[in-house]
Copies of this chain bind each other. A is one copy, B any other.
Amino acid sequence: MPKVKRIDHVAIVIDDVDAAAAFWQDALGLSITKVEEEPAEKTVVAFLPVGDGEIELVKPTDKESGTARFLEKRGPGMHHICLEVEGLDDMVAHLKAQGVQLITESPAQKPDGTRYIFIHPKSAQGVLVELYEKP
């Protein structure tokens, strides 16, 4: 049986890195432990661990990216929630059988081996839900 294990991260789209660091790091006391370019998504992401999950601050690096369009339309804010799953392929098959709409047909893979897929907000009460399976 596929299983959701935990909230891996909440992703927040930002436009102002200094303001975001001032709030999440200086005011709330979280630490940016890693900053990574994600060329496939045309974003740069700052990772702030919280408990066994993370806050991810995502800034578009190209105005043609999905996050840049999000920013233009809605301004900064929560973009998606990511759940870590055990048995991603079985989960994907189960979701399809339940009529859940996925953004892509099958999971993609990050350079570190993490496999992921997005569920369409139409199927999830307006929430963009990412599913992760770690290697």
Q: What residues make up the interface of A, taking CB atoms closer than 8 Å to B?
A: 1-7, 10, 12-14, 16, 19-20, 22-24, 26-30, 50-53, 55, 57, 74-78, 81, 83-84, 91, 94-95, 98, 100, 121, 123-127
Contact = CB atoms under 8 A, between A and B. Distances in A.
Nearest to A77: B126
Contact of A14 (B10, B50, B125): B125
Which secondary structure dominates where chain A touches chain B? mixed
Contacts of A53: 6-7, 51, 53
A23 B7 CA distance: 16
Contacts of A75: 126
Given A23-B100, A98-B22, A76 B6 contact: no
